Amino acid sequence: MNIIDGKLIAEQIKTEIATEVRKMIDSDIRPPHLAAILVGEDPASQTYVASKERSCKEVGFTSSIYRYPATISEKDLLLAVDFLNKDEEIDGFIVQMPLPNHISVEKVIESIDPKKDVDGFHPINAGRMLANLPSYLPATPYGIMQMLERCNIETEGKHCVVLGRSNIVGTPISILMSRNNKHANSTVTLCHSKTKDLEKITLQADILIAAIGKPLFVTSNMVKEGAVIIDVGIHRVISSETKSGFRLIGDVDFLNVSKKCSYISPVPGGVGLMTIVALLQNTLKAARKEIYQ
Ligand code: NAP
């Protein structure tokens, strides 16, 4: 069994990005600028935004965080988005999810200028992805595709089973894996909570991508010998073994599944780190106007 080392791959890509930033600075071009809107005090969101800020620093990007209380009105949040849309010093920005219940996620996403939508969630970017046109790919699926490519994992003609159909992970990764592109060309089955005989389907998977948000859901009896396993899930559980008092686990029962598979991405140290790096890559593309003029 081989570990898909998200940390190592993410570090390699960060080094490549940092080299590009250095070239921009040497040519008197300002470095890429990624901004984040953070609403409320959700601890997981604060952690994600802080690690995105740290990663920006590592590669030489400028980063800024716009914090608003959970009581902000939808109208004011839309004004905040509009402010970032118009700020020429900002190349791309994200609105960290989840948002408070009184705010429409769809309205907020649709209010982001697609040119600055480095999360790739705007319907224009989603539609362009579907049409195989240049677009900002959603960060997690983009990160997964690069993991597979950089580990030289064969995808062509393979049966890829995706667990979960969210707009940010399951649905886009199922599209990307089935594309008639190099490092894709899989035959994809997309499963969700209404799928019958799930185990029968997962047992056929050459590549199994788990994004269902249920801790340790994928057990070894659901996995074919020699399969490639990508674990997208992130769950914080209480632990007496760590200083912090908690540890992260995924959607896959790593301990047992790893004995059966050929490759597996661990949690932590897998997809999560690739997601952040993919966001940096989208921001670099935004700064260079590679997708839109
Ligand atoms: P989500 O929006 O909660 O969607 C979960 C999906 O799983 C839904 O499509 C649901 O089906 C399906 N599902 C739930 N129970 C199922 C079951 N028993 N059998 C088959 N399918 C089932 O999930 P998400 O936002 O994609 O996130 C999934 C996990 O990935 C979470 O743990 C999240 O924290 C993590 N995540 C990690 C990253 C990263 O960077 N590593 C990024 C994003 C998310 P229905 O559609 O029928 O409800």
- Amino acid identity of 144? I
Q: What is the pLDDT of residue 293?
A: 84
- With bands split at pLDDT 50, 70 and 90, how would you rate the model's confidence at 25? very high
Q: What is the pLDDT of residue 117?
A: 98
Q: Which atom of ligand 1 is nearest to the CA of 250?
A: 32
CA of 89 to the centre of ligand 1 (A): 35
Answer whether the bond into residue 215 is a cis peptide, omega within 30°. Answer: no
- CA-to-CA distance for 214 and 210, rounded, in angstroms? 9
**Do 139-273 and 28-113 fall under one CATH topology?**
yes
Residues noted as catalytic: 52, 96, 119
Residue pair 3/267 in contact (Cβ under 8 Å)? The answer is no
Helical spans, DSSP H, in 65-205: 74-86, 105-111, 123-130, 139-150, 170-178, 198-202
Q: Give the angle subtended at the CA of 85 by the CAs of 128 and 87, to the nearest 5°.
A: 135
Establish whether residue 211 lines the binding site of ligand 1, counting it when its CB lies within 6 angstroms of any ligand atom. Answer: yes
User: What is the dotted CATH code of the domain comprising 139-273?
Assistant: 3.40.50.720
CA of 165 to the centre of ligand 1 (A): 7
Q: Is the pLDDT of residue 131 over 90?
A: yes
The residue-averaged pLDDT of 17-31 equals 98
Q: What is the pLDDT of residues 226-253, one digit of tens each?
A: 999 999 999 999 999 898 899 999 999 9
Query: Which residues are within 8 A (CB) of 249 and not within 5 positions of it... i.e. 6 or more apart?
Result: 215, 216, 233, 235, 237, 267
CATH topology assigned to domain 28-113: Rossmann fold (3.40.50)
Q: Is the pLDDT of residue 60 over 90?
A: yes
- CA-to-CA distance for 284 and 34, rounded, in angstroms? 9
- CA-to-CA distance for 9 and 6, rounded, in angstroms? 5
Q: Which atom of ligand 1 is nearest to the CA of 214?
A: 32
Establish whether residue 120 lines the binding site of ligand 1, counting it when its CB lies within 6 angstroms of any ligand atom. Answer: no
Task: Check the CA dihedral 140-172-16-88 and report its sign.
Answer: negative
Nearest CA to ligand 1 atom 18: 193
| Domain chopping of the chain, boundaries | 28-113, 139-273
